[in-house]
A and B are shown apart, each in its own frame.
Chain A
């Protein structure tokens, strides 16, 4: 069991945003976290990466929790934020080196991985540049490279598809597939439902801070036979938002 979230209640202030959320991400599995703006996706992610502390419930990663062994917990996670976050004073090469140092990676093996990734995302000739000045898509690629040079057991990817060019989306999906084959779990939040429908193994649908439904696409479809054929249709009817055609 890679990630287990059980009965999580949490949020930023006294008022909980998340109301009793439970789901899991198994090794070798890509789970899509789907929900409207404000449904609680980012809050869930912030709880998992340890920026927020649960009010109730438990988050465990291979039986380690943040409370029992924070360093062992954090070492298993790689995170790709929705908006790229970069150090203004570090070059691209130094961003990679910083990640290697912080995660205690073997430099030689990590650089081999890094060089492959840099080539895929066509960043290999920009090692001495400041990525803070890159375009949004390129910054996002830097985030992807930094995340995938780690040996994380769980990748958390927040809305990766907006801002990336189609080639990069394809390459990212391929990287996720390879990470899965190596036994890592991936939790990905997204609004791009048709890509998610094809790529994700299972889905967790959040609505107003609660898990509305979860399971494989086939399971969800079987549960809601009248809701439609695509994830998009099912999701729209599940949110209960009725609108004129």
Chain B
């Protein structure tokens, strides 16, 4: 079991590394350096204005440390198939989970150390806190995170529902109280209490797990959700195959569908329009790019730059929607319906026109709100119309037919 976690961790890290390389490409690293540099500069400038009278800052520091405890979860790396294949070795799973705990522990504690370091200047400026006291506070924070991680491992077992309901909120509440005592009364007090809490949670875990069964399904779901969060992040930068959109009913948009024709020549349109509205993958893409584009358009004046942005964003949206044409290719019925491929393409072009027209109108409004003259809005309207026509009638056909 120990090798199993080691093996999975290696695979996991390799995969993460591959994505991180894609995320932190040259351009992004440069942008990030500027961003972090700017942030640091702002922070250090702001620190110059902070003095002992700003006691409210201690409350903010407390909340930051408290909220920061939420960063870092246990990477169990469990897979759906484990519910079948590892079930016979349920008792040994504890060793596996301890491994998972250890790996995640280090990762989480590094973040906690960083968090405390960021708040140190504030504590020194406002509270005139000593170096040893700071160390006590740091250990308090680490011990609180330790307790939380132990609780996370305990949660992987099937607990009494009542215990499960109150233990997590209780842990958060006690953590808050301990941090408050540490910042207001004495870091040494909080240190003792936090270590006590961490020890108590370990003891509880040791007592509990041999008598409990693993909550397989919940654990697998939890891990899948954790990974989905990571993949979602990567998906902002690159295509991640594991991120499949979900489906939402979105009844409030049904009125849009009522406008569309319903007959045999528009059968694919019936499918495409519903898929576009209810699937989160493509509709999210359109919504994100439209909002970002509109904001950029609004802030970039009403000159050529704005017009260029408008053209680029409409092209980007149209271009990224093209794969939606093949969204239903794996559904056998779309191949055996007595419908011509020509109709299918025509229906898709119609959908593309509708979506891009809505985006174009929103862009025009943003452009107009940025104090563009009506003549300029008129010019952009013509540009949009020509671009959408070319995209739909020429480019989409070229790529898809």
A102 at the interface (CB under 8 A from B): yes
Contact A77 B340 (CB under 8 A): no
Interface residues of A in 94-136 (CB under 8 A from B): 94, 97-98, 101-104, 130, 132
Assess whether A71 is in contact with B336, with CB atoms less than 8 Å apart: no
Q: Verify if A163 is at the interface (C-beta below 8 Å from B).
A: no
Residue from B247, B264, B266 within 8 A of A88 (CB atoms): B247
Q: Is the pair B336, A89 in contact by a Cβ cutoff of 8 Å?
A: no
Contacts of A81 in B (CB 8 A): 332
| The one of A51, A75, A77, A101 that contacts B266, using a Cβ cutoff of 8 Å | A101
A85 contacts B332, C-beta separation under 8 Å: yes
- Whether A51 and B337, one on each chain, are in contact in the complex, defined by CB atoms closer than 8 angstroms, is no
Question: Given A72-B338, A75-B338, does the pair A94, B274 have CB atoms closer than 8 Å?
Answer: yes
B335–A50 touching, CB < 8 Å: yes
Select from chain B the residue with minimum beta-carbon distance to A104: B264
A-side interface size class = 20 to 34
Q: Are B338 and A74 in contact (CB under 8 A)?
A: yes
Kindly state whether residue B271 has any CB partner on chain A within 8 Å: yes
CB of A79 within 8 Å of the partner chain: yes
Residue B328 at the chain A interface, CB threshold 8 Å: yes
Interface residues of B in 231-280 (CB under 8 A from A): 247, 249, 262-264, 266-267, 270-271, 274-275, 277-279
Q: B339 near A: Cβ within 8 Å?
A: yes
Which chain A residues border B85 with CB–CB below 8 Å? none
Q: Tell me which residues across on chain A come within 8 A of B271, comparing CB atoms.
A: 87, 90, 98
Across the interface, do B267 and A89 meet the contact criterion of CB distance under 8 Å?
no
Assembled-state Cα–Cα distance A24/B266 (Å): 34
A199 close to chain B: CB less than 8 A: no
Contacts of B336 in A (CB 8 A): 49-51, 74, 77, 79
Contact of A71 among B274, B332, B339 (CB under 8 A): B339
Chain B CB within 10 A, most for which of A94, A98, A101: A101
A39 to chain B, nearest CB (A): 21
Min distance, Cβ B247 to any Cβ of chain A, angstroms: 5
Q: Which residues of B contact A74 (CB under 8 A)?
A: 336-338
A51 to B266, CA, bound (A): 22
A72, A86, A88, A94: most-surrounded residue (chain B CB, <10 A): A88
CB pair B335 A89 closer than 8 Å: no
Complex interface residues of chain B between 304 and 332 (CB less than 8 A to chain A): 328, 331-332
**Would B274 and A90 count as touching, CB distance under 8 A?**
yes
**B275 CB contact (under 8 Å) in A87, A91, A101, A132:** A87
Partner of A103 from the list B278, B279, B328, B337 (CB cut-off 8 Å) is B337
Given contacts A88-B279, A98-B267, A101-B262, contact A132 B247 (CB under 8 A): yes
Contacting residues, chain B, for A87 (C-beta < 8 A): 271, 274-275, 328, 331
Q: Are B278 and A102 in contact (CB under 8 A)?
A: no
Q: Does B114 contact A (CB under 8 A)?
A: no
Q: What is the CB-to-nearest-CB distance from B160 to chain A, in angstroms, rounded to a whole number?
A: 30
> From residue A62, how far is it (CB to closest CB) to chain B in Å?
14
> How many Å lie between the Cα of A77 and that of B277 in the bound state?
30
A72 to chain B, nearest CB (A): 7
B333 on the A face (CB < 8 A):
yes
Contacts of B331 in A (CB 8 A): 85-87
Take A88-B279, A90-B271 as given contacts and tell me if A102 and B328 are in contact as well, using a CB distance cutoff of 8 Å. no
Closest 8 CB pairs of A and B: A75-B338, A104-B264, A102-B337, A74-B338, A101-B267, A89-B278, A102-B267, A89-B275
Beyond the given pairs A101-B267, A102-B339, A104-B263, 4 more chain A to chain B contacts, judged by CB atoms under 8 angstroms and listed by A's residue number, are A49-B335, A79-B336, A101-B270, A103-B264
24 contacts between A and B (CB under 8 A): A49-B336, A50-B335, A51-B332, A71-B338, A71-B340, A74-B336, A74-B338, A75-B338, A79-B332, A85-B333, A86-B331, A87-B271, A87-B275, A89-B274, A89-B275, A89-B278, A97-B270, A102-B264, A102-B337, A103-B337, A104-B263, A104-B264, A104-B338, A132-B247
